[in-house]
């Protein structure tokens, strides 16, 4: 097909449904097809979808196809195309402000991070258009920012609900760990010396492991608790979904995982102290103690990684293909 395209006129390209094919490829994110066709037939970069008159740059932004949009931005004609409007006088920044239902893909963990992705897209497109586009109105007289707020109203509510439900669940766990670890620090295994008040096993290395891991668990759980409480009391503005809320969730979740791990270490250390010489009991219990830590890590670690990548990963226009 690419061998035939260079010799065809625009009318032949249209009648041969080549323009329709590249429009569909842009919508579905087939960057290899788009790249191959535009390399041999660069004029197709000007094609637009009827009847909306949205060009392929707009369609890539509307359907959140980052790889396609990055490839299209390599062409010198992009600045001229960015200045164009569709049939409803929407600029490409208006298109970035719209929420297309097809954008609900399983690439982000929850509605809050889908909202974060939407804000990221708006910011990216905002950075490449002319400043005058920020205040330009469409046929209904709405500027891009107003359109963004209107079209993402429901997503903001869903994101707030997701954040609060997740934070509430984690707050309960963190509060329980704080309570348990504080009680463990007061009632140390082996008790205290009646004369000095010091712990009986103070000189043993395993006791120091017990105290240190208990302190780490208590402090990390307290940090996690504060972070999740901060999430629950946030205002949930659109801009908060970009950095503020995700950062709090990342800190809260990572410290919670760490506190659970150190809590299990504290438990194992206390068993070593209490059941000295009973390795046939201690070792199986320690192995079993690692199970809840591993399960929680498996369930939540992927979520944590997705959060970090979504928040601190490369910008949409800076990402490498396939990342």
pLDDT at 41 over 80: yes
Mean pLDDT in residue range 171-192? 86
> pLDDT tens digit string along 211-245?
999 999 999 999 999 999 999 999 999 999 999 99
Q: Specify the DSSP class assigned to residue 320.
A: P
> pLDDT tens digit string along 105-141?
656 667 888 899 999 999 999 998 989 889 999 999 9
- Give me the chain's average pLDDT, please: 86
Mean pLDDT in residue range 279-299? 76
Mean pLDDT in residue range 175-195? 82
193: left (phi over 0), alpha (psi -120 to 50) or beta: beta
Q: Helices (H) and strands (E) in the chain — how many of each?
A: 13, 2
CA gap 155, 277 in Å, rounded: 58
Q: Are 256 and 173 in contact (CB under 8 A)?
A: yes
Domains of the chain: 5-151 (1.25.40.20), 155-312 (1.20.140)
Q: Are 113 and 307 in contact (CB under 8 A)?
A: yes
pLDDT at 57 over 90: yes
Q: How much of the chain, in percent, has pLDDT values that exceed 90?
A: 47
């Amino acid at each position: 097909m690419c061998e035939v395209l260079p010799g065809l006129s625009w009318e032949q390209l249209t009648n041969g449904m080549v323009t329709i094919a590249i429009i569909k490829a842009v919508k579905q994110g087939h960057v290899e097809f788009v790249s191959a066709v535009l390399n041999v037939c660069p004029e197709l970069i000007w094609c637009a979808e009827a009847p909306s008159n949205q060009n392929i740059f707009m369609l890539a932004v509307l359907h959140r196809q980052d790889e396609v949009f990055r490839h299209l931005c390599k062409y010198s004609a992009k600045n001229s195309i960015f200045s164009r409007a569709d049939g409803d006088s929407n600029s490409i920044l208006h298109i970035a402000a719209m929420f297309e239902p097809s954008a609900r893909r399983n690439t982000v963990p929850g509605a809050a991070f889908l909202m974060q992705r939407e804000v990221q897209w708006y910011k990216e497109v905002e950075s490449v258009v002319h400043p005058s586009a920020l205040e330009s109105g469409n046929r209904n007289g709405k500027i891009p920012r107003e359109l963004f707020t209107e079209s993402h109203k429901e997503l903001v509510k869903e994101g707030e609900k997701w954040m609060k439900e997740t934070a509430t669940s984690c707050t309960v766990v963190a509060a329980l760990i704080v309570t348990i670890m504080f009680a463990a620090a007061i009632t140390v295994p082996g008790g205290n010396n009646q004369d000095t008040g010091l712990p009986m096993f103070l000189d043993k290395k395993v006791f120091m492991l017990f105290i240190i891991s208990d302190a780490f668990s208590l402090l990390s759980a307290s940090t996690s608790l504060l972070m999740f409480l901060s999430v629950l009391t946030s205002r949930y503005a659109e801009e908060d979904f970009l950095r503020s809320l995700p950062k709090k969730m990342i800190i809260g979740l990572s410290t919670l995982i760490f506190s659970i791990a150190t809590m299990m270490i504290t438990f194992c250390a206390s068993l070593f102290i209490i059941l000295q010489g009973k390795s046939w009991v201690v070792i199986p219990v320690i192995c079993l103690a690692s199970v809840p830590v591993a399960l929680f890590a498996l369930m939540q670690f992927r979520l944590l990684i997705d959060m970090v990548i979504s928040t601190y990963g490369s910008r949409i226009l800076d990402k490498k293909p396939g990342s």
